[in-house]
Amino acid sequence: MTKKAIILGIIISLVLYINAYGFAADDSQPAIVLDGAKIEAAAYICGGNVYLPLRAVGEALGYEIQ
């Protein structure tokens, strides 16, 4: 009886542990918001860092980019 309870406990723990990663996964793209206005440019995540297109951010700040 105790052997069955231990195996059942391990199985339940594994099922809950595996499902936690499914909820944490997020495939959405980060939004770029500057002074409350959303910038329509594609930011992307690589290696835990968020990279922004410099031209779009500079133009949103009012700089002229050649």
Residue 8: the pLDDT is 92
pLDDT in tens, 4-63: 999 999 998 888 777 666 665 666 677 888 888 888 888 888 888 888 888 988 888 889
The per-residue pLDDT for range 18-29, each reduced to its tens digit, is 766 666 566 667
pTM over 0.75: no
Contact call for residues 29 and 42 (beta carbons, < 8 A): yes
The one-character DSSP state at 36 is T
Q: Say if CB 28 and CB 42 are below 8 A apart.
A: no
Tokens in use for 39? Answer: 């910038």
CA distance 49 to 17: 26
Number of H helices, E strands in the chain: 2, 4
How far from each other are the two terminal CA atoms of the chain, in whole angstroms? 76
